[in-house]
Chain A
Amino acid sequence: AQRVTQPEKLLSVFKGAPVELKCNYSYSGSPELFWYVQYSRQRLQLLLRHISRESIKGFTADLNKGETSFHLKKPFAQEEDSAMYYCALKGCGALIFGKGTTLSVSS
Chain B
Amino acid sequence: EAQVTQNPRYLITVTGKKLTVTCSQNMNHEYMSWYRQDPGLGLRQIYYSMNVEVTDKGDVPEGYKVSRKEKRNFPLILESPSPNQTSLYFCASSLGPGGRDNEQFFGPGTRLTVL
Cβ contact within 8 Å between A93 and B42 = no
Q: Is B89 an interface residue (CB 8 A)?
A: no
Q: Is B56 an interface residue (CB 8 A)?
A: yes
Cβ contact within 8 Å between A94 and B50 = no
Known: A43-B90, A44-B106. A94 touches B58 (CB 8 A): yes
Cβ contact within 8 Å between B103 and A46 = yes
Known: A43-B90, A99-B42. A88 touches B108 (CB 8 A): no
Q: A43 to B99: give the CA distance in the assembly, Å.
A: 20
**Contact among A9, A44, A90 for B99, CB-based, below 8 A:** A90
Q: Which residue of B lies closest to A93 (CB)?
A: B97
Known: A9-B40, A44-B106, A46-B104. A95 touches B90 (CB 8 A): no
A-B contact pairs, 16 of them (CB 8 A): A6-B42, A9-B40, A32-B99, A43-B106, A43-B107, A43-B108, A43-B109, A51-B100, A51-B101, A88-B98, A90-B97, A90-B99, A93-B48, A93-B56, A95-B104, A97-B35
Q: Measuring CB to CB, which residues of chain A are less than 8 angstroms from any residue of chain B?
A: 6, 9, 32, 34, 36, 43-46, 49, 51, 86, 88, 90, 93-100
Q: Measuring CB to CB, which residues of chain B are less than 8 angstroms from any residue of chain A?
A: 33, 35, 40-45, 48, 50, 56, 58, 90, 92, 97-101, 103-104, 106-109
